[in-house]
Amino acid sequence: MQPAGPYVQTGAAQDTTITRRSPDAEDLINIVRTNKSWLAAPALAGLVIAVVVAFLWPDTFVSTAVVRVVPPQVPEKLVPSNVNMAMTYRIGAMAQTIQSRATLSSIIETYGLYPRQRNSMPLDDIIDTMKDSIKIGEVRSIPGRDPRRASDMSAFQVSFRYENRYLAQKVAQDLASRFINENQRQRAYQSAMTTQFLKEQWLSAKAEVDKYEHKLIEFRTRNAGRLPEQWNATLQQSNAMDARINTLNGNITRLQQEKMVAEAEMRNLRDRIDSIMNVKPDEPRAYTDPRLTAFDERIRQSESELLRMLQNYKPTHPDVVRYQAQMETLKKEREAYITARETPSEEAAQPIQLTPEQARQVQDLNARIATMQIQLQAKDMQIDQNLKDIDAANLRIKQIQTQLMSAPASDQEYAALMREYDLAKAHYREMNGKMEQSSLATDLETRQQGETLEMLDQASLPDTPSEPKRPTIILMGFGAGLAVGGTLVFGKELKDKTLKTLKDVRAYTKLTILGSVPLLEHDLVVVRRRRLAWLAWSAACLLSTVIMGGAVYFYYANKI
């Protein structure tokens, strides 16, 4: 007899609702025993599905290469680098280049990657899949492997996931090599571009300096002697001309004094000759010419007056020039008188008889007079040359004065030119220094002595796949099946409102149970039901075993 449902009506209270009692351990065991098929079937199905998924899921091998960051061989204090971007950012930039569509397409074609996907998927989707399989680690400091090195080294990892472990190793090695080559290429390119840019700036600065130098040369040529920095030199030149004129005037004064002394001595010598020529051999007598004496006296007075004036005035003074002219006129008149007196007329000319001693004295005196005349001529030439030099110096002084008094060059224009020239020259020097420094940095990169990348660890050949984690997948599948079965049983029990045990009857009816009649079924029906259940479970287990065995066989048959 089937017991009543969970809601029991009594005579005392027709509308009273009785809440479901909490199940105990015995109830749970009964639920599991009566619903074991509902738990086992989903668990078996989850197990089969998990095994099939785990073994049909291709192995994925991860190959990893370690790339080391090598610091510059030359200290940056000596040769600063043209590349200032940190290695972390440069690796990100290089990763974008290496993971570009063209690069990944080339790698896929080179190694024949993703053959199944290439038959059913577009190339862009395959490239996206490959991008997801590439992992580039961050630059990190790792302890130095050489115990002699106290400092740590910086390195990063390049990994690639693929179902073929040999291809995974080759691709990882290729990617790491591409990082090394791309780093060198980018650094060399950036350094070369920096040097080229600085060279263009240097050429522009040099052209600017040449332009202002040309303008300054034209301006200085146009305004020679009137430039501010030339005024001192021009004034010094004028002062030098004044000093030279004073020196030349002193020379003229000295030469004139020497000349007057020599002329006085010549007159004395002539007087001696005259005295000798006027004395007879047998009777010495004194002979004095009053007119000649007057000439000599006037000449001596003129020389004294001239010496006195030269002490106060320059040789070019008008009074000095007038006295010199008068003295020269007196000297010429005296010479003419002496010549006329010494030339006898044809009628009165009588030879003068001289003793040998007198003849020798006259000859010596004439020789001394001739020598002194030559000296006087030389002094006259020196005086003339000094006068010419004085005239040239005066002319130069006038030119300098005219040059200084003429309109000077525009100070503002000249100052602007000099300022622009100084700025251009400073910019040129700055660009020259930067270009030389950049050229050294470029040469350093060309020699691969800058910051470089090198292979620290070659790409590894993985022995075990990184995924799938088959035991984890199988356990998760079996657990998921049990969870589904438990959920079904919970729902089934939640919807079932019948009274199943004597505890339910006592709890819901509050009546005393005197006895119970068990459910009686025909033995043939029970046996048939059990056989069908065992047959169904046997077939399910056999089918599940075949399916799981096939999946395992497929995995090991296609394992590389």
Asked whether residue 224 carries a pLDDT value surpassing 70, the answer given is no
Sequence-distant contacts of 134-143: CB under 8 A, at least 24 apart: 134/99, 134/158, 134/159, 134/160, 134/161, 134/175, 135/159, 135/160, 135/161, 136/91, 136/95, 138/88, 139/69, 139/87, 139/88, 139/91
**Which residue(s) pair with 135 in the sheet?**
159
**Arithmetic mean of pLDDT over the chain:** 79
Asked whether residue 194 carries a pLDDT value surpassing 60, the answer given is yes
Average confidence (pLDDT) over 387-412:
72
Average confidence (pLDDT) over 201-211:
91
Give the 3-state secondary structure of 451-491.
CEEEEEECCCCCCCCCECCHHHHHHHHHHHHHHHHHHHHHH
Give the three-state DSSP class for 280.
coil
pTM (2 decimals)? 0.54
Asked whether residue 364 carries a pLDDT value surpassing 60, the answer given is yes
pLDDT tens for each residue of 57-88 = 888 899 999 999 888 888 878 888 878 777 78
Spatial neighbors of 174 by CB under 8 A, at least 6 apart, are 107, 110, 111
Is the model more confident about 174 or about 33? 174
Sequence ranges of the domains in the chain: 25-54+468-557, 61-204, 229-343+353-408
DSSP 347: T
Asked whether residue 4 carries a pLDDT value surpassing 70, the answer given is no
Average confidence (pLDDT) over 450-475:
87
pLDDT score at 77: 81
Distance CA 53, CA 73 (A): 54
Kindly give the interhelix angle for 523-557 and 36-56, rounded to the nearest 10 degrees.
Answer: 10
Q: How confident is the model at residue 362 (pLDDT cuts 50, 70, 90)?
A: confident
Average confidence (pLDDT) over 452-469:
87
Asked whether residue 559 carries a pLDDT value surpassing 90, the answer given is no
b/e sequence 83-118, b meaning 16+ C-beta within 10 Å:
beeebeebbeebbeebeeeebbeebbeebebbeeee
Distance CA 187, CA 447 (A): 12
**Which residue(s) pair with 453 in the sheet?**
69
pLDDT score at 104: 93
168: left (phi over 0), alpha (psi -120 to 50) or beta: alpha
Asked whether residue 525 carries a pLDDT value surpassing 60, the answer given is yes
Distance CA 158, CA 339 (A): 127
Asked whether residue 436 carries a pLDDT value surpassing 90, the answer given is no
Average confidence (pLDDT) over 212-233:
72
Give the three-state DSSP class for 157.
strand
Q: How confident is the model at residue 410 (pLDDT cuts 50, 70, 90)?
A: low
Closest CA to 292 of 348, 331, 350: 331
pLDDT score at 177: 93
pLDDT score at 107: 93
Is the model more confident about 83 or about 233? 83
Asked if residue 46 lies in contact with residue 436, where contact means CB atoms within 8 angstroms, the answer is no
Asked whether residue 149 carries a pLDDT value surpassing 80, the answer given is no
pLDDT score at 509: 73
pLDDT score at 283: 40
Average confidence (pLDDT) over 181-185:
89
Q: How far is CA 401 from CA 200, 226, 238, in A?
A: 49, 11, 8
Q: How confident is the model at residue 458 (pLDDT cuts 50, 70, 90)?
A: very high
Amino acid at the residue 330: L
Candidate from 293-302, 401-410, 516-525 with smallest mean pLDDT:
401-410
- Which uninterrupted H or E stretch holds 64? strand 61-70
Asked whether residue 380 carries a pLDDT value surpassing 70, the answer given is yes
Give the three-state DSSP class for 69.
strand
Q: How far is CA 124 from CA 92, 100, 168, 286, in A?
A: 21, 11, 20, 146
pLDDT score at 127: 92
Give the three-state DSSP class for 534.
helix
Asked whether residue 17 carries a pLDDT value surpassing 60, the answer given is no
Report how far Cα 297 is from the mean position of its chain's Cα atoms: 95
Q: How confident is the model at residue 406 (pLDDT cuts 50, 70, 90)?
A: low
Report how far Cα 122 is from the mean position of its chain's Cα atoms: 46
pLDDT score at 542: 92
Average confidence (pLDDT) over 50-62:
87
pLDDT tens for each residue of 20-35 = 667 777 777 777 777 7
pLDDT score at 1: 35
Asked if residue 63 lies in contact with residue 466, where contact means CB atoms within 8 angstroms, the answer is no
b/e sequence 410-446, b meaning 16+ C-beta within 10 Å:
eeeebeebeeebeebeebbeebeebbeebbbbbebbe
Residues in the chain: 560
Asked whether residue 528 carries a pLDDT value surpassing 60, the answer given is yes
Asked whether residue 446 carries a pLDDT value surpassing 50, the answer given is yes
Average confidence (pLDDT) over 356-370:
78
Q: How confident is the model at residue 3 (pLDDT cuts 50, 70, 90)?
A: very low
Distance CA 313, CA 320 (A): 7
Is the model more confident about 279 or about 427? 427
